[in-house]
Structures are given as C-alpha cells and as structure tokens.
C-alpha cells in the first residue's frame, strides 16, 4: 500500500515562472548529484520509479514537483556538485535553486540527502546555511547506509550529528534496504503539517 495513494508527478520546471503556485505546503529534497535523492523519494512515497533514478550523475536537472495529497507537495531539486556540466549550466542551476529557496513561502522543510560514505560536503554546508538564513527546518538523510558496516554507519551518524550541533536533525537511511523509512516519513509529515 502506498503511503501517499494520490501522489503524482506534476511538472518539471526549468525556470521560476514554471514553479507551481506558491500555496499549500511543500517539502524540498536536495543534495549532491547522485547522492540518492530520487531513490529516497521513491521509497518514502512507496512508489517504484516515481522520481526517476539513474546511475548517471546529474539525472535530475530540473525542479520536479510531485503532489502528495491536496495542498501538499514534494519537490525533487537538481543535484549540485556535478562536475561534468558547463559553467553556464551550473550557474543556471545555482540561480534556480536560490530563487526557489528565497521566494517560496509554502516551503516548510528541507530534506538534505547525503551519501553516508562522504559525510557533509561544502555544498551541503552551503545548503544548510541557506536554510538557516530563511529559517527553514532541515533534516539530513545519511543514505546508502547499506554500503557501510553497522559500526561505521553509527560513527558517521555521530560525526554528522556533532557537526550539525542541532542545526538540523539527522538519521541513517537506505533506499536499497528500506532502512529508516518510517523515521523519514514522520519528519516529512511533521514538516508538512507544522
Ligand atoms: N546501495 C545503495 N544505492 C543507492 C541508494 N540510494 C540510491 N542508490 C543508487 O545511487 C545512484 C543514484 O541514485 P539517485 O536516486 O538517482 O540519485 P539522485 O541524487 O537523485 O541523483 P541526481 O538526480 O542525478 O542528482 C543509483 O544508482 C541508485 O541506485 C541506497 O540507499 N543504497
Ligand atoms: Mg535525481
């Protein structure tokens, strides 16, 4: 059974004019290219290939809007830090993200997807600073936890928790093993209703 039976893809925006109307509540999913954002969305929403996943980094290049229910949405943001794109393209993503964060009053929370093996990168830190500057709650999913031994995953969690120092909540997650899904859904629900 899908957690969000009415969930559906609405549109991909390449420019702010294409963003959906700024009403209801929205939670954005961000992270480095290839971190596992689209996979995390699919597992949280409980739909296969709902958000398109890929072995090729930089797959999600547009701001993808999904509706979860009446007045609630999830947004799959383009991955940042993908090196094999032109500067022009990178600038375009940067300004698209910036505009999205600054102008979106329906935005109720950010889920930041981080590869547990890489820990926080400077891009992630920039993203967290951006959320702080607009007073947005953030939650970090340390994903691909299945790639580490249990002890290594726990110490990664502690390390990130320490660095975040209460700025954002954080958990271990695996789309592959469906680890941490309930916890992630609870956070999503809290953001969407809070
Ligand atoms: N082992 C493992 N692999 C994962 C997990 N989540 C994602 N992957 C793999 O990582 C790759 C990238 O996953 P995506 O979900 O497409 O990543 P993304 O962040 O949406 O990537 P872009 O849209 O390109 O920025 C794919 O090959 C996935 O199968 C996980 O929890 N465990
Ligand atoms: Mg993606």
Which listed ligand is nearest to 53 at the C-alpha? 1
pLDDT digits (tens, 9 = 90+) for 16-25: 999 999 999 9
The pLDDT, as a whole number, for residue 89 is: 77
The yes-or-no verdict on residue 84 having pLDDT over 90 is no
Most confident of 57-61, 66-70, 114-118: 114-118
Measured between its terminal Cα atoms, the distance across the chain in Å is 25
- Is 59 a pocket residue for ligand 1 (Cβ < 6 Å)? yes
Question: Which atom of ligand 1 lies at the shortest distance from residue 179's CA?
Answer: 31
Residues 50, 81, 17: CA angle, nearest 5 degrees: 60
Scanning the chain, the segments in alpha helix (DSSP H) are 37-45, 87-103, 122-133, 150-164, 181-193
For the stretch 137-147, pLDDT in tens is 999 999 999 99
Provide the whole-model pTM.
Answer: 0.93
CA of 49 to the centre of ligand 2 (A): 10
The pLDDT of 31-45, averaged and rounded, is 91
């Amino acid at each position: 059974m899908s957690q969000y039976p009415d969930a559906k893809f609405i549109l991909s925006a390449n420019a702010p004019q294409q963003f959906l109307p700024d009403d209801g509540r929205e939670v954005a999913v961000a992270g480095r290219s290839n971190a596992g954002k689209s996979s995390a969305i699919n597992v949280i929403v409980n739909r296969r290939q709902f958000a398109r996943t890929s072995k090729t980094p930089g797959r999600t290049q547009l701001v993808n809007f999904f509706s979860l229910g009446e007045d609630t949405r999830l947004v799959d943001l383009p991955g940042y830090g993908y090196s094999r794109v032109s500067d022009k393209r990178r600038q375009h993503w940067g300004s698209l993200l910036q505009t999205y964060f600054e102008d979106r009053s329906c935005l109720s929370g950010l889920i930041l997807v981080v590869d547990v093996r890489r820990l926080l990168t400077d891009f992630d830190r920039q993203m967290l600073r951006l959320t702080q500057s607009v007073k947005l709650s953030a939650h970090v999913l340390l994903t691909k936890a299945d790639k580490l031994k249990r002890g290594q995953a726990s110490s990664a969690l502690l390390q990130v928790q320490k660095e975040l120092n209460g700025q954002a909540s954080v958990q271990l997650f695996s789309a592959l093993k469906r680890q941490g899904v309930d916890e992630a859904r609870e956070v999503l629900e809290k953001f969407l209703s809070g």
